[in-house]
Structure 1
Amino acid sequence: MTDIIDGDAVAAELRSDLRASIETLADAGVRPGLATVLMSDDPASETYVSMKQRDCEEVGIEGIHVEIDPDAPAEELYDTVADLNADPEVHGVLVQMPVPDHVDDREVVRAVDPQKDVDGFHPENVGRLVAGNPRFKPCTPHGVQKLLDAADVETEGADVTILGRSDIVGKPLANLLVQKTDLGNATVTLCHSRTEDLPAKTRDADVVVAAAGVPEMIDGSMLAEGAVVVDVGINRVEADTDKGYELVGDVEFDSAEEKASAITPVPGGVGPMTRAMLLYNTVAAASRQTGVDVELP
């Protein structure tokens, strides 16, 4: 019987546990604050930001949202980020990507104060992660670790194959899983578009993490019997539905489920965990910036 790893349930438990940390901060007169900045009229980005703000309200984090005209000069975005960096009531700053073409997304990442970079993308925070002393773990990779832990998947000594080498998921997750930590000590193979004989790599893995952004590229024939499968992908594909599309992952679920011992669904797997870990990082940032110690779940 394959275990369907319920990201919604794990995320809900984590949000519940975070409330104790938020209450500790409140007793000291501190309310964590997360600022989201949107410079886009993309409906998906607007939805993501709305969901993040709703999550904040649910757990007691102060949500601050700033919208900037997508046609405005890049300097308006940089000035907004600078103002949020300087605001002591704001403990975390998140600029929703993508930004318009005339804005350098790398400069946007560097503009966020590393102490408030709750995405964990600033070069300083990336360096700390690689060095084994992370200030913030990037939300999706950390969420994957939490899901594996919740499903009692032992990573120590495990062979893990990750598909996708993005700065957001693949590379930071590989760094986390090889660290000498309770949720690390894995042997990691990082695959990408130039990898030869990908099925051979995935069939050798105890754990397969799909984060390539290619709909249903992994199927059951590419998995070892009893493998654990974590599907980070979320893709819109045309379908005969009221909306005209459906959401699928990077894994062909039905055939993979037949081989896997545990698997995350799409939606309802990694996605909820990404948002939950953003709250986690915001609470951690508030604790560090104010000197109020909290116990994080």
Structure 2
Amino acid sequence: MKILDGQLVSQATKDELKIKVAQLVAEGKKVPHLAAVLVGNNGASETYVGSKVRTCEEIGFRSTLVRLEDTISEFKLLEAIEELNSDMDVDGILVQLPLPKHISDEKVINAIHPSKDVDGFHPVSVGKMVQSLPTFIPATPHGIMLMLEHYKINTKGMHAVVIGRSNIVGRPMSILLSANTNPGNCTVTICHSATRNLKELCLQADIIVAALGKPEFVTADMVKDGAIVIDVGITRVPDATKKRGYSIKGDVQFDTVSPKCSYITPVPGGVGPMTIAALMKNTYNACLAKH
């Protein structure tokens, strides 16, 4: 069993970008600029956005954090996004989800100009991804593909089972794994809450991508020997033995599943760091495309 170390691969990706940014500076060219919009003060969202801003600083990107009250109207938020669309210095825009209930995620995502859609959620980005055209790929699936590429895992001809059908992870992951690329060229099965024979399908899988948000859902009896397991889940589970009062759990029961795997991602330290690295790569490419 080999650990797919997201911290290691993420750092390698960031180091590579740092060198490229230093070269841009040396040549007097524009440095990538990421604008993050945070609505309200959700603890998890604060952590994620803070990490993205710090990573920008580490690499040498410019970053702008736009903080807005959770009482802001949908119209005012869309106005703020339009200002960032019009700002020629801003290369990438991300709006941290989830948003307050009175604001439509769909309207906000659609308001971001496709050329600045570094989260890869805009319908234009998704459409290009489906057609295997150059575009921004959603950060978590992109990060997973970068990790598979780093470890030189040849996925051609493998059967991949993706558990979860969200637009953020499950659906794009199925498209990327089935694409005529390397990594890719898999036969893909998407499983979800209405799948009847989930365990049987997982036992056929050479690759399992667990992205359903249920802690320790995937157990050893669902995984065949030698499988590659990618755990996208990250959930805080109450734990009185911990000083902070909770443990971080993935969607995979790591202790029992890992001995059966050829490769597995840990939680934390697996997919999470790769998501931010992929977002930075998208922002760099957005800047390059414009300038």
TM-score, normalised with respect to structure 1: 0.95
How many residues in Structure 1 have an aligned counterpart in Structure 2?
289
List alignment gaps of at least 5 residues for structure 2: none
Aligned to 2:85: 85
Runs of at least 4 residues off by over 6 Å: none
Which residue in 2 is equivalent to 1:171? 171
SS for the counterpart of 2:174 is: helix
Partner SS state of residue 34, structure 2: strand
After superposing the two structures, state which structure 1 stretch, 132-141 or 17-26, moved more: 17-26
Over the matched positions of the two proteins, sequence identity in percent amounts to 43
Aligned match of 2:101: 101
Q: CA deviation at 1:183?
A: 1.6
Tell me which moved more, 143-152 or 276-285: 143-152
Deviations 1:195-242 (A, max 9, x none): 111111111011111001011000111001010111000011111211
In the other structure, the counterpart of 2:119 is 119
User: For the Cα contact (< 8 Å) 2:149–2:183, is it kept in 1?
Assistant: yes
Q: Counterpart of 2:187?
A: 187
- Counterpart amino acid of 1:271? G
Separation (CA, whole Å) in 2 of partners of 1:280 and 1:248 = 27
Measured in 2, the distance between the counterparts of 1:188 and 1:134 equals: 22
Equivalent residue of 2:107, what SS?
helix
CA contact (8 A) 2:39 2:96 kept: yes
1:283 aligns with 2:290: no
Q: Distance in 2 between matches of 1:162 and 1:253?
A: 17
Q: Tell me which residue corresponds to 2:53.
A: 53
Match of residue 294 from structure 1: none
CA distance in 1, matches of 2:180, 2:4: 25
Match of 1:259 in 2: 260
| Aligned ranges 1:1-297 → 2 under 5 Å | 2-26=1-25, 27-239=27-239, 240-290=241-291
Alpha-carbon distance between aligned partners in 2 of 1:23 and 1:186, rounded to the nearest angstrom: 37
Q: Distance in 1 between matches of 2:268 and 2:56?
A: 21
**Alpha-carbon shift at residue 28 of structure 1 (Å):** 4.1
Structure 1 stretch 154-163 or stretch 22-31: which is displaced more?
Answer: 22-31
SS in 1 for 2:215: coil
Does the 8 Å CA contact 2:154/2:182 hold for their aligned counterparts? no
Read off the aligned partner of 2:289 and give its amino acid letter. Answer: R
Q: Which amino acid aligns with 1:17?
A: E
CA contact under 8 A between 1:164 and 1:192: conserved in structure 2?
A: yes
Q: In 1, are the aligned partners of 2:140 and 2:274 still within 8 Å (CA)?
A: yes
One-letter amino acid matched to 2:178: V
TM, length-normalised to structure 2: 0.97
